[in-house]
Chains A and B, each alone.
Chain A
Amino acid sequence: MKNTAGRLKRATGAPASGIAADLNPSERSSESALAEPAAQSGISLSGVSKAYPVNGEMIPVLKNINLDIKQGEFISLVGPSGCGKTTTLRIIADLISPSSGTVLIGGQTPRQARLKRRYGMVFQSAVLYDWRTVIKNVMLPLEIMKLPKQEQQQRAEAMLDMVGLKNYAAHYPGQLSGGMQQRVGIARALALKPDILLMDEPFSALDEFTREKLHEDLLQIWQKTHKTIVFVTHNIAEAVYLSDRVCVMSPHPGRISNIIEIGLPRPRNPQAKTSATFSAYVNLVRSSFEGV
């Protein structure tokens, strides 16, 4: 409860300067959507906590996470190491289960959502299969789904086209650069045609130039497909540039310290990064961390 109160106070009261109007545009209806129940592929976490036993003592890594992610929203979880952002993502992905609290993905449990292949997962490393060609990598989840061969091929080709790697279908991952490999990883996640894309620091291992290119690609894909994207990162500028909302998390124990609505206009372009508003958002996110 204390957490929620702090969050509201910060979200409304903290930016006292001239940018306050930009940060909390009153005409944006999404503000009130915070209180609304999650939509069809929205994600709702309520009272989610996670603790691990260490030497017989339960150490909390995540404490009372309340978060409603709207359908088609691009939300970032940003914070330093140990703030539980990846843990939160993994709970949504049904890779770990929470100690308490409930998670609903369009009304389904994470397990149901996983078995319905409602989300695609992208990791920090591309996690490609060296022994499979690029197109075979994209076809992997479709093989698991036992789709007809024809459809596997067509879908994989379409996804590779979307990430701009149509001409590399027959290459092996070892022949591609890091950025291209990560694109294959994204194409593979999209091949499932999921409602939700869960991305765990997908660009943090890439160089600045490649990362910026992939930001544009990801925004384009998002605009084309209207997926709900949950994006974990420790890069504040990246989170601000990409997201509708930035969820700032703090460690010991992992908790949400602020949720910031990003009022930058869409579609975004790299020039936005030089604007005063952009830096104001970055500063607001930075000042939202607690205990670091």
Chain B
Amino acid sequence: MKQQPKSKIQSKPGFASLTQAKWPVTLVWLIGLILIWELAAFEVAQTKRTPENVLPHLYQIIAAAFSGKKVTNNLTATQVVLINAASTLLRAGQGFVIGVAFGYLLALLMSLSKIVEKIAFPYLMLIQMIPILGMAPIVLSITGDINRSRIVIAAILTFYPIAANCLAGFKAVEPQKHELMYSYGANKFQLYTKTMIPATWPYFFTGLKISAPLAITASILVDTLQGGGGLGSMLSQSLKHAMSVYVFWLIIFFVAFIGMFSFYLMGVLEAWLCPYRKWEKGGNEA
């Protein structure tokens, strides 16, 4: 049994490394996506009057990205996307950091006190249930500033996955670890710093991976609520033909990429800060 896979690797080194490496999967996935997109684009090109509004070919989108043609205010399509992305991502980032901090703090408080948990958790659920579009005017009237309210909304959406995941993390600490600390005569501060808080890191990173892309999409959504910069505003403007429709497609691709990248970044952060996780069962996959 032990020798069989060995000889297989020796006889077909290319095949073995191919099945073990990750990139072939990504490649197949990418080719599949391109194929489906192009098939659909051909179909749209045959049947619709303005196919670029529905589904342009990929090469058209790529060409638009590198074209020097000014679409608005003396800016090319790519410049429009990047300039607006800066303000949207900055707000998303600020909201994300605030949401993560408050989310973790609340999870910690809920873990420390059953009463806090009982009081706070229904509100947490409630906030989660209110649609962002319903929440936005309320937040706007409270903060009185559209940019500040956009940050707050990104924070609110980030907050829940972090708080819920970290609370689950606090609760998942095995009773034996509590007993061990008790048998050492550890005080509450030591219990939390040595056992509880480190034990939540995997849950914390799971929360981060959920909420990082969420903060970005939320930030784009609330951009559309009022004028001013931001990817969301550009999206609606480009759809209204105020500028090239390719701005719309570039934003879609850019956002998809940034969303995935933010997820990936959290994974890298986790691998760096929690090196031990690679030896755990199912570690680094959450």
Contact = CB atoms under 8 A, between A and B. Distances in A.
Contact of A140 (B194, B199, B283): B194
Interface in B271-286: 274-280, 283
A95 B178 CA distance: 10
A172 B184 contact: no
Contacts of B176: 123, 125, 127
B177 A121 contact: no
Interface residues of A, number: 26
B265 interface: no
Contacts of A172: 275-276, 279
Contact of B276 (A114, A125, A131): A131
Contacts of B179: 93, 95, 121, 123
A175 B274 CA distance: 14
A129 B198 contact: yes
Contacts of B174: 125, 127
A191 to B, nearest CB: 10
A275 B250 CA distance: 81
B194 A143 contact: yes
A256 B186 CA distance: 33
A131 B201 contact: yes
B79 to A, nearest CB: 45
Given A129-B195, A143-B194, A93 B183 contact: yes
A175 B185 contact: no
B218 to A, nearest CB: 31
A237 B72 CA distance: 85
Contacts of A130: 276-277, 280
A266 to B, nearest CB: 29
B190 interface: yes
Contacts of A131: 198-199, 201, 274, 276
Interface string A115-143: 10101110101010111100000001101
A37 interface: no
Contacts of A143: 194
B184 A95 contact: no
A144 B186 contact: yes
A192 interface: yes
Interface residues of B, number: 25
Most chain A CB inside 10 Å of its own CB: which residue of B176, B183, B198, B279: B183
Nearest to A119: B183
A114 B280 contact: no
Contact of A127 (B177, B186, B190, B283): B177
A212 B277 CA distance: 30
B246 to A, nearest CB: 48
B194 A144 contact: yes
Contact of B184 (A123, A174, A192): A192
B182 interface: yes
Contacts of B180: 121, 123, 127
B132 interface: no
A174 B183 contact: no
B198 A115 contact: no
B55 interface: no
B181 interface: yes
Contacts of A145: 184
B276 A174 contact: yes
Task: Name the residue among A119, A129, A131, A172 with the largest chain B CB count within 10 angstroms.
Answer: A131
Nearest to B201: A131
Contact of A174 (B177, B182, B195, B279): B279
A173 B184 CA distance: 21
In this complex, the member of B174, B180, B201, B277 whose beta carbon has the largest number of chain A beta carbons within 10 angstroms is B180
A95 B183 contact: yes
A115 B184 CA distance: 7
Nearest to A121: B183
Nearest to B198: A131
Contacts of B177: 127, 129
Nearest to A120: B183
B182 A115 contact: no
Contacts of A125: 174, 176
A175 B179 CA distance: 24
Question: Which of the listed residues B194, B201, B283 has the most CB atoms from chain A within 10 Å of its own CB?
Answer: B194
Contact of B279 (A114, A115, A117, A175): A175
Given A95-B179, A127-B177, A114 B185 contact: yes
Contacts of B183: 93-95, 114, 119-121
Enumerate the 7 nearest inter-chain pairs by beta-carbon distance, A residue then B residue, closest first: A174-B279, A172-B276, A144-B184, A127-B176, A144-B186, A141-B184, A121-B183
16 contacts: A95-B179, A120-B183, A125-B174, A127-B176, A127-B180, A131-B274, A131-B276, A140-B184, A141-B184, A143-B194, A144-B184, A144-B194, A145-B184, A172-B276, A173-B279, A174-B276
Given A93-B183, A127-B176, A144-B186, 11 more contacts: A93-B179, A95-B183, A121-B179, A123-B176, A123-B179, A127-B177, A172-B275, A172-B276, A174-B278, A174-B280, A175-B279
